[in-house]
Amino acid sequence: MRINIEKISKETFEEFGQIIEMPVQSEPTVAVETVTFWKQQAMFAIDGDIEVGVLKVKKMAMVFDELENHFKTATGLICLDGDCVIGVTQPSDEVPLASDIKAFLVPQGQLFVLAEKCWHTATYPVDKDEITLLVLFKKDSLDNDTVFEAINESCQLVF
C-alpha cells in the first residue's frame, strides 16, 4: 500500500498528538530586549522521571510492515539537523490496519508529541543520509513500554 506524505500542521496532526509550529505563531508570554519566551506550547503528562535520549537514523527506503507503540507514555521528538517523515495512526490498543496510517513531513527544528497509544513508524530522513533527533519520554519506556507489531500489509511512504 502506498501512503502519501503530507505537510504537518497543528490541524492535520491533532488526532495523533501535538506539534509546536516553528516559528511560533502566537504572541510570546515574555518579550524583553534579550529574551522572547512562549510557554506551554505543548503539554503532555508523564508520571515519573523524563528521559531525554538521542536518536540517530540513517536514510533508508520508506517501506515498513510493522508499527511501534508506547501504551503508557506520550513521546516527544525534535528533528535537530534535518527533515524527517513519520507514519502514524490514531491512538488505539489494537494493531491498526495499513489503511489507517497517515504520513507527515516534519521539518527540522519541529517538536512533535506522539500521544499515548499512537502507533507509529520509525522516523525517515528526507534530505540527509543521517539525522539526529532528541526523544523525550518516561524513563525506561524503551525497555518497559515499547511494542512492535506486524500490520496487515507492507506500506511505502511516498511524496
CATH of the domain at 108: 2.60.120.480
- Half-sphere exposure at residue 17, Cβ-oriented, CA atoms within 13 angstroms: 29
Asked, for residue 38, whether it belongs to a domain, the answer is no
Q: How far apart are CA 112 and CA 76, in angstroms?
A: 6
Asked, for residue 97, whether it belongs to a domain, the answer is yes
Write out pLDDT tens, residues 79-120: 999 999 999 999 999 999 999 999 999 999 999 999 999 999
Asked, for residue 34, whether it belongs to a domain, the answer is no
Q: Does the pTM exceed 0.85?
A: yes
Asked, for residue 45, whether it belongs to a domain, the answer is no
Asked, for residue 99, whether it belongs to a domain, the answer is yes
Please count the structural domains in the chain: 1
Calculate mean pLDDT across residues 21-47. 86
Q: Maximum distance among all alpha carbons in the chain?
A: 55
Better-predicted residue by pLDDT, 25 or 116: 116
Which residue range(s) make up the domain with 137?
2-25+50-158
Asked, for residue 19, whether it belongs to a domain, the answer is yes
